[in-house]
Amino acid sequence: MINNTIYLRRKNKVIVETGEDIVSLERLATVLKNLEALGYILSDSLLETISTLSTNNFDSFYKNIIKDLKVMLGANVKHKPMYPNFPKQVMKMDEAELYFNAMCHYFGDWIGVRIMPKYKKKKRKDLKDKVQLKVIDLGTELDFQSIFTYLMSANTSISETDKEDITWFIGNNKSKLSTVVPENIPLKENVALIVKLFKDNDCVLGKNILKNIKTATDVLRIAVCLCDGDISLAEVTKFSSFDRNTRRILLGFLENCNGDITDDMMKYQERWKRLAGNLHPFEYHNKYPKCYTSFQAVVGNVSHKTVNSKIETAIQGFKTDQAVKLLKKRPGEFARRLDNLVRIADNSSSIVQSFKQVAGNVSTPVLLQVKAHFSHRAESSNNKVRTFFPKGNIAKAKVIDNTMQRINPIHCDNIVQICNDALKTRFAKQDTLGKVYIDSALEGFNVPFAQRSSSKGLRVAPRGSRYNLPDGDTIRFFIHWKDIKGSRVDVDLSAIALDEDHKYKGNVSYTSLQSHALHGYHSGDITSAPKGASEFIDIKVSNCIENNVRYILMSVYSYTNQKFCDIPECFAGVMVRQKPKSGEIFEPKTVDNKLDLTAQTTITIPLINDVVDRQVIWTDLALTRNLGHVNNLHGNMSSLQITAKAMTSLVKPNLHDLFRMHAEARGELVDDINEADTVFALDKGITPFDADVIASEFMK
C-alpha cells in the first residue's frame, strides 16, 4: 500500500499509475497554476503521467496533493490577524490606538466576550516576490518502501514523526515486511518499536528481528515500549500488567541474550525491580534460570558489583591503567570517557594509544562526535560555557559552566587522526560512490545524531544547522493555533534582537507591537482562538544591521500555560518577503519553513536568524519557563540570551566533513556536479533533509 502524503512530505514525490485517457490542457493548466501559488511545480515525467488519468482519478490526485501541500505549508487554515492590513496598518497607527484596542480585547477575554477591533480589509496588490519553485517528481514503489528500510536501519535516534510513519507502514503492508525490514537494526529503540508493532498487528517476529535483541537493556526497552513509555529510557515508565504469554516472551528474550545479563540489568536496577513485579521471574526459575539468577541480584537477594562501578572507582582513585583495562572491553564507553581520562592520567599518551587499539570497534556516530569534540577541544577550553542536549523526548539545550582543564593540543590532534583513520577504514569497505560532488553549503549542516525530539516540519534540519536565507529584506514570522475545547488558549509570538555579544537590543511582541528602530511590527496580540487565530511579526534585515543587531531570535509562548502537545492545532513558521506590502499577509509560496508545535513544554525557540551572515540557525528547542514570572519573553530573557549564545556558537560534526570522508575512502571528489555519480547538495541527490538515508547509509 502506498501513502502519497508520507512520500510527498519526505521526498517531494508521489506515485501515480498511468491511465489511458487524455486530460484537457485547461485542467492541467489549472493544476499547475494552483500548485505554483503554493510554490511547487510538477516534473515532466509526473505531468506526462497525470495527463493520462481519467477524470475521477485526475480530480482525486489534484484534491489530495493540494490538501497535503497546504498542510505542509500551514495554508490549510484561514490566517486572520487582529490587523487585517498588516504590516502597513500597524506602521501607521499611533500607540494610543494600539493600546486602546489591546485593552478592549483583554477586557473582553476577562468577561468571556471576544472583542476584536473592526477594520475593513483593503485590497492588496498581487504578490511581487520572485520565488524558486520546488519540483514534485514521479516516484516508484521501491523508492517509497526504501523510506521505511532506511528509518528502521538508522544508526541514530529517529523522531516521533518517523515512528508514526513506520507504524503506518507496518500496519498497512504486512505482506511486504519480510523484504522491507532490514537484517541489521542498529538502534535498539527501533528494535523495541518494531517488536511492539509486530505484536500489535499479529505479525510473526522473524529471525532478522530476534537476532537484534542482544542485551538486557534491549529487552527493557521492549517492555517499556509495550507500555507506551519512553524507549530512550530518559524518563521512568509506569509498567502495566502483562498477560502470561507476554511475560514468557519477554523472559525468553532475556534468557537468550548474549552472556551474563546481570551487569546490564544493574544499570537500570530500580526499573528492573519494578518490572520484576510484572514479569514474575521467580515463578519460572526452571525454564529461565539465567533470568532467575540475574533477578536475584536485581532485587538485592545477592550482591553484585558492576563493571561500570569498578570503572568509576578506578577513575575516582586516579587508577587510569586499571580503568583503561576495563574500558578496552567496552570501546564505546572508553570513547565517551576519553576526555576525562586524558586529563587525569599521568601518562596521557598511553591513554591515546590504548584508545587507538579499540577505535575500530567504536560506533560511527560516537567516533564522529569524538572527532568533532577534540577538533575544537583546545580552543573550547577558553569558552565560559558548555552546551549539550540531554537524552529524551523534549528538545532542551543544557548550558553549564565550562570547568574542563586544558588538554595538550598534540593529544587532541592524535585523537582526531585516530578517529579519521578508523572511519575511513570502515567506509572503504562499503560500495564505491564513483565520482562525488559535495556542495560547500553542507558545511553549515550538522550530522543528524539525535532526532527523537525533532518536530514535524517542512524542512527539518539537525539542531544548530545553518542555511542561507532566501532573497528578501523582510523576515516574517507566523504562528497559528486553536483553543482547547472548553479552555481559552493564548499563544504569543515574539522576536528578540541581540547584538554580536548576545546583549539585548529590542523586541517585537505583544508588549511592543512597533519597533521603529528595527523596522519591526507585530500584527496584534490575540488572546483566544475558538475558531483559530494567527499572529505575524515583520523584521527588516537592513534596519537590524544598521542598529548593530546580529541575531533575531524567534520565540513562542503558551501564555495560558497549556503545553503545546495539548493544543489541538498549533504551528509556527517563517517567510522571507521581498515586497512585504504585496500579496496576502500569508503567502504559501514564500514559506521558507514551518513546524508543528507539539512539545511537552510552554516555550519553544524554532529558529534564530543571523542577519549579518543572512543565515537561519535551526534550533527547534524547548525552554523551561521561569515560574516566578509571567510566561513571556521578559520573564525568560536570561534563558533566551544564554540559549542564543549556546546555539550560535555550537560546534558539531557537519555533513560536508562526513561526506568528504566517504568520498576519500570510496570515491573520487569532483568539482563539477555534472560529472558526478553521487551528489550531496541542498536540493539534488542526497540532501541534508534526508536524515533517514544519512543515518542509515552514511553512519553505519
The pLDDT score that the predictor gives to residue 651 is 85
**Average pLDDT value for the chain:** 93
Question: Strands 13-14 and 134-138: what pairing?
Answer: parallel
Q: Average pLDDT, stretch 642-653?
A: 89
Query: What is the percentage of the chain residues whose pLDDT exceeds 90?
Result: 83
Cβ atoms within 10 Å, residue 39: 19
Give dist(CA 423, CA 522) in Å, integer. Answer: 50
SS3 category, 636: helix
Backbone dihedral angles phi then psi of residue 86, each to the nearest 5 degrees = -60, 145
Give dist(CA 83, CA 106) in Å, integer. Answer: 16
Give dist(CA 526, CA 427) in Å, integer. Answer: 54
* Sheet with 504-508: strands ordered across: 466-468, 615-623, 603-610, 551-558, 491-498, 504-508
- pLDDT at residue 560 greater than cutoff 90: yes
- pLDDT at residue 381 greater than cutoff 60: no
Give dist(CA 226, CA 238) in Å, integer. Answer: 11
The pLDDT score that the predictor gives to residue 11 is 95
The pLDDT score that the predictor gives to residue 112 is 75
The pLDDT score that the predictor gives to residue 304 is 82
The pLDDT score that the predictor gives to residue 383 is 65
Give dist(CA 603, CA 342) in Å, integer. Answer: 39
Give dist(CA 381, CA 516) in Å, integer. Answer: 40
Cβ atoms within 10 Å, residue 645: 19
CATH no. of 78-132+450-651:
2.60.60.30
For 176, 209, 211, 249, 538, the CA distances from 205, given in Å and listed in that order, are 14, 6, 10, 11, 54
Give dist(CA 393, CA 455) in Å, integer. Answer: 10
Q: Average pLDDT, stretch 41-48?
A: 97
Question: Strands 474-482 and 533-540: what pairing?
Answer: antiparallel
Give dist(CA 467, CA 614) in Å, integer. Answer: 9
**What's the pLDDT band for 649 if we cut at 50, 70, 90?**
confident
The tens digit of pLDDT for each residue in 229-255 reads 999 998 899 999 999 999 999 999 999
Cβ atoms within 10 Å, residue 300: 10
Give dist(CA 580, CA 595) in Å, integer. Answer: 22
Q: Which three cell numbers stand for residue 649?
A: 556558537
**Which 3-state string (H, E, C) describes 593-619?**
EEEECCCCCCEEEEEEEECCCCEEEEE
Range of lowest pLDDT (96-105, 522-531, 624-633): 624-633
Q: Which three cell numbers stand for residue 90?
A: 500597524
The pLDDT score that the predictor gives to residue 133 is 96
Nearest to 528 by CA among 564, 559, 556: 559
Strand-pair partners of 437: 679
Report, in this order, helix, strand and coil percent for the chain, each rounded to 5: 45, 15, 40
- pLDDT at residue 391 greater than cutoff 70: no
Domain extents in the chain: 4-73, 78-132+450-651, 141-298, 307-427, 434-448+654-697
User: Contact at 8 Å (CB) between 419 and 331?
Assistant: no
The pLDDT score that the predictor gives to residue 402 is 67
Q: Which three cell numbers stand for residue 81?
A: 490577524
Question: Strands 667-669 and 434-438: what pairing?
Answer: parallel
Give dist(CA 434, CA 440) in Å, integer. Answer: 19
Please state at what angle helix 269-279 crosses helix 289-298, rounded to 10 degrees.
130
Long-range contacts of 147-152 (CB under 8 A, 24+ apart): 147/6, 147/7, 147/10, 147/11, 147/692, 148/180, 149/180, 149/181, 149/182, 149/696, 150/692, 150/693, 150/695, 150/696, 150/697, 151/190, 151/692, 151/696, 152/180, 152/181, 152/182, 152/185, 152/190, 152/194
Nearest to 553 by CA among 593, 595, 611: 611
The tens digit of pLDDT for each residue in 132-164 reads 999 999 999 999 999 999 999 999 999 999 999
